[in-house]
Amino acid sequence: MIDIITYGIIILAGGIAAFLIAYPLRFVWKPIYSCIIGTGALILANLIGIPFGFSLGINLITVLVCGLLGVPGFTMLVLFKLLL
C-alpha cells in the first residue's frame, strides 16, 4: 500500500515539474511564431508590391516590428516607406 502512495507522489511531482518547465516556454515560442508570420507578411507584401515599384526591406528590425506589433506594425512600416 505504501508503494502505491510513493509511486503516486513521484508521478504527481513529475507532472508538476513538467508543467513548471513547459509553461514558461510558451513565452519563448509565441514571439518566435509571431516573427515567422511577420516575415511571411513582408514577403507577401514584396511579391504584391514589386510590380508597382513598392518593396519593404526584410531585415531583423522590420521582422521584429511586423512580428511583435502585428498589423499596426506592418501598417507603420508601409506608411513609413510611402511617406519617407
- Phi first, then psi: what are they for 58, rounded to 5°? -105, 100
By mean pLDDT, which of 13-17, 42-46, 48-52 is the weakest?
Answer: 13-17
Residue 69 in 3-state DSSP? helix
Whether residue 44 has pLDDT greater than 80: yes
Does the pLDDT value for residue 74 go beyond 90? yes
- Measured between alpha carbons, how far is 78 from 74 in angstroms, rounded to an integer? 6
